[in-house]
Amino acid sequence: MKRFLLRLFTGPILFCVLLSCSEEQNFDQFEDLTITPTVASSIFYLESDEETINNVPAGPFYYQTVNFDAFNEEFVAERLLEGTITYEIENTTSKTLQVVIEFLDAGGNVLDTELFNIDPNLPETYTREVTYGPTGKSLNILAATDGLRISGNNQSDTTSISTASEPKVILRSAAEFLFRLK
């Protein structure tokens, strides 16, 4: 009897389930889809203690050129909508410092420069945000950047010593970029 009832009700129930789940699918929604992810990344980190700064009598205490090939692919550079680079500076040294960041193209030509005149013994972290895109600098700077040249110069003497327990200067940078993928 159980088998008979099972067979009797299985067919109509299966038929009702198939009818209730058969909605027409619209695969044209992809055309209306807009994808704009934000990509965040660290760019560089500079740290130097006061002793190192004092040991360099003339010229930069820090000098480095770093590769920045985030936009080397034309596909990526063409889809960049905007970007923000955030710089954070801490200086517990007794030194007045100057840090220069140059954005370089593939030929080594300077596209843009960020200049930081840093006071000694900063009581808190200094933050600067630089925007690129519709509300800031040209996106072409970022799209053409192939490298960064960073130099740190001591604008003070080479003998003064900070009273901080571990005097040093730290410069951090991070970026957020908004892309249009479709």
Helix (H) or strand (E) holding 132: strand 126-132
Q: Is the pLDDT of residue 30 over 90?
A: no
Quick one: pLDDT band at residue 3, thresholds 50, 70, 90? low
Report percent pLDDT > 70 for the chain. 75
Cβ–Cβ under 8 Å, residues 93 and 165: no
Per-domain residue ranges of the chain: 35-179
In this structure, whether the domain defined by 35-179 belongs to CATH 2.60.120 is answered with: yes
Q: What is the CA radius of gyration of the chain?
A: 29
pLDDT mean across residues, the chain: 83
Query: Tell me, what's the pLDDT at 119?
Result: 94
Q: What is the pLDDT of residues 87-144, one digit of tens each?
A: 999 999 999 999 999 999 999 999 999 999 999 998 999 999 999 999 899 988 988 8
Query: Tell me, what's the pLDDT at 38?
Result: 75
Query: Tell me, what's the pLDDT at 113?
Result: 97
Q: What is the pLDDT of residues 86-96, one digit of tens each?
A: 999 999 999 99
C-alpha neighbours within 13 Å on the C-beta side of residue 84: 9
Q: Is the pLDDT of residue 68 over 90?
A: no
Distance linking the first and last C-alpha atoms of the chain: 60
